[in-house]
Each structure stands twice: as C-alpha cells, then as structure tokens.
Amino acid sequence: MKKLTSWLDIPADSDFSIHNLPFGIFSKKKKGKTRAGIAIGNQIVDLAALAEAELIDVSPFVFRQSTLNDFIALGKKVTNKVRLDVQRLLVEADSPLQKKQEILILQADVQMHLPIHIGDYTDFYSSIEHATNVGKMFRDPENALLPNWKHIPVGYHGRASSIVVSGTPIRRPKGQVMPKDATAPVFKPSERLDFELEMGFITGKNTQLGDSVSTTDAADYIFGLVLFNDWSARDIQKWEYVPLGPFLGKSFGSSMSPWIVTLEALEPFKVAGPKQDPKVLPYLKYTGKNNYDIQLEVALQPENSVAHTVSNSNLKYMYWNMRQQLAHHTINGCNINVGDVMASGTISGKDESSYGSMLEISWGGSKPVTLKDGSTRTFIEDNDTVIMRGFAEKDGIKVGFGEVSGTILPSD
C-alpha cells in the first residue's frame, strides 16, 4: 500500500489518517443542522459544502440528511468515488480545497450523531473463545460449546430502537432476577451489568425477500464497520433466556461509534481466520483472507477517576467472519436493507488480558479486578464509563475507529 501525504496537518497518531476517511453525521454545536462528513485528523470535511462548491459529483441534498442511508444507497461505485475524490483533494499540492478551508471543521466544534437509520439489528455469537468461556462457566467445562456452534454462525434478532451513538448515557435496567437458592424471582435493578466488546458491520444494499447473499458477493453488501458495545444485564438474561434467548437483558441499550470505516479502507489489514473444523456446509465456504487485524481496547473509568484498561483484544480472533454471517443471515430468504446493523458478538482472545466482557474478566464475579484508583469491579457500577477503541496499523499506516463510550446512570 502506497503511503500518502496530505497538505493538511494530521497528527501522526490520528485514527483518521489520509488512508482512512470514514463517514459520519455531525452538526455544528451552535447551528444544529445535521449533515454528512468525512473525518480527517482532528477535523471534518463538510461533504454538503464540498458538493455545493462542486468539488464532488453528488447532489448537496444527499449530504444534508440526518443519516447516511440515502448516500450509502447510491452504491459503492459512488461512495467509493467520493472517498477517493476527497482523498485526492487532501493530497494534491494545488488542491482547490486549500482555498476553501471553511469546508474543514474542527471535530471539537461539532456534535456527532448516529450515522444511519437502523431498520434492523442482528447480534451474532462468533468468537469461539468467548463462547467457550461462557460454556465453561455455565455448562459442562468438558463440552463448553453447544453442538450447533461450529456449524452455524449463531445469532439473534436484537432491538434497533435502543442503539445509541457514543457518549449517550445508559440507564441501569431493571427486571426479574432469580437470586441464588431462591424459589421465586424478584424485581430489581441489575447487579451484574456488563459490557460486550463488539464490532458491527453496516449493510450497504437492499435484497428482495426470498433472495440470499453468497459469501462470494457478501463484501458488495457491506458498507463499513463500527465499534459496538452491546451492554448486557447478566442476571436478568440468565433468568429469561430459556427458551427463546436474550430479551430485556440486552434490549435496554447498545452503543455505537459515530464514524463508519469503509471496507475499502480496511483492505490492507485482511488476514486469514482460524481454521474451521469440522468443514462448513457449502453455502458457508469462502476463499481468501476475510478476517481483519483490528486491535481493540476496553477501558473502565469510575466517576471522577482515571480510566483503567481491562481488555486488549483483536477482531482477527473471530471464528465466523462477516461474509459467513451475512450468507447465513440471508440463506433462508430473509431480506436486508441499507443501514441494517449486524454485530459480531463479544470478541475475546486466547488469554485473560483479551477477554471481551466483565463476565469473563472477573470469571462470573469470582475474580474482582483492581482499577488504577484502587477500587475493584466484578461488573459495571453506577456512574462508571466504559470506553472502547479500535485501530488497524501496518507499515506505518493507521486506520482507526475513534471510540465508543457510555456512562451508566442509576436505575432511578
């Protein structure tokens, strides 16, 4: 990959390098109108203003929307061209953008918004390390994985309405909990509130009911990736999940990062995934490298204190990749729409430092974690903030996601 240099001053360690250029929706803090932008360094390229200046060949109207759905629906031929045109404008020494720097806005001066209208949301369960850890804790340690796990990308349909942009507080959920050794459940705020380190992909094309997407074609239907924290109330979920799976223990909130990093920007960071054994059925077979080497970090910050890193993981660990997830999701003819979110499931690595949830890090609450300020945690407490970050880096080129953060508010 050829390393590019911009005439714009971009911090060397920025997630938003000239090689990245992710898309998002922002508004100026004082004026308040939402519009589409591209992140570059600590600034944003205002795409509506860029189109009004006729520096890109897309109607300004598309970029004045409150979401990116209409833009994404134009197709990759258009969206990729916009990204590459902006890249060229930021690289060329005689770029006309240099004379129109009012098109560049400081990120510190804007408010970020959820970048898409999410019609549907699906959460997968695709990390073999995470599934094995959960199986060891709650089932037979010798047979931690359920019989279907290595045959299908397990998933469930979640609640799209409660997905919020990074920085939005989450209120501690209440629900039914079955106390240990009790004979009847009680109603109370969750005492085992957890994060789940995930990434999500955003669908970029519609399909018709009855159609399926193959693993070969799946990348054409994936616009880009985001960081995703799928909050989980473990005690509520434990009581409710039999026989139909997660419900109130998950639907109270999920947090998403505001910038969508395109698949094209992540192309240099593709790696081979884990060997799948037994062999998968033909519709789940794929060729080439389809995992991504994206370094992930989770920090937990108590109120009025410092952040403490509790996990360092990587998307490359995923047993089931995105192509397989989308192929399985649509194999029965289920249709998808532009802006659907499909999350990876908790991303855990092979050792304790890379576990993607407090459930695993504290091993079901039996191993408290000591934070930098001396306090301890087994699960998330009120007014704690969870911060997730992610980036890919190779040959001096960095493509990052920024962060997704959320603070837990008391239940009442």
Active site residues: 130
Torsional sign, CA 126, 213, 295, 259 = negative
Contacts of 109 (CB under 8 A, 6+ apart): 28, 29
Residue among 227, 256, 222 nearest 338 (CA): 222
SS3 per-residue string spanning the chain: CCCCCCCCCCCCCCCECCCCCCEEEEEECCCCCEEEEEEECCEEEEHHHHHHCCCCCCCHHHHCCCCCHHHHHCCHHHHHHHHHHHHHHHHCCCCHHHHCHHHEEEHHHEEEECCCCCCCEEEECCCHHHHHHHHHHHCCHHHCCCCCCCCCCCEEECCHHHEEECCCCEECCEEEECCCCCCCCEEEECCCEECCEEEEEEECCCCCCCCCCCCCCHHHHEEEEEEEECCEEHHHHHHHCCCCCCCHHHHCCEEECCCEEEHHHHHHHEECCCCCCCCCCHHHCCCCCCEECCEEEEEEECCCCCCEEEEEEEHHHCCCCHHHHHHHHHCCCCCCCCCCEEECCCCCCCCHHHCCCHHHHCCCCCCCEECCCCCEECCCCCCCEEEEEEEEEECCEEEEEEEEEEEEECCC
Residues forming beta bridges with residue 260, ordered by sequence position: 23
141-167 residues labelled b (16+ CB within 10 A) or e (exposed): eeebbeeebbeebbbbebbbeebbbbb
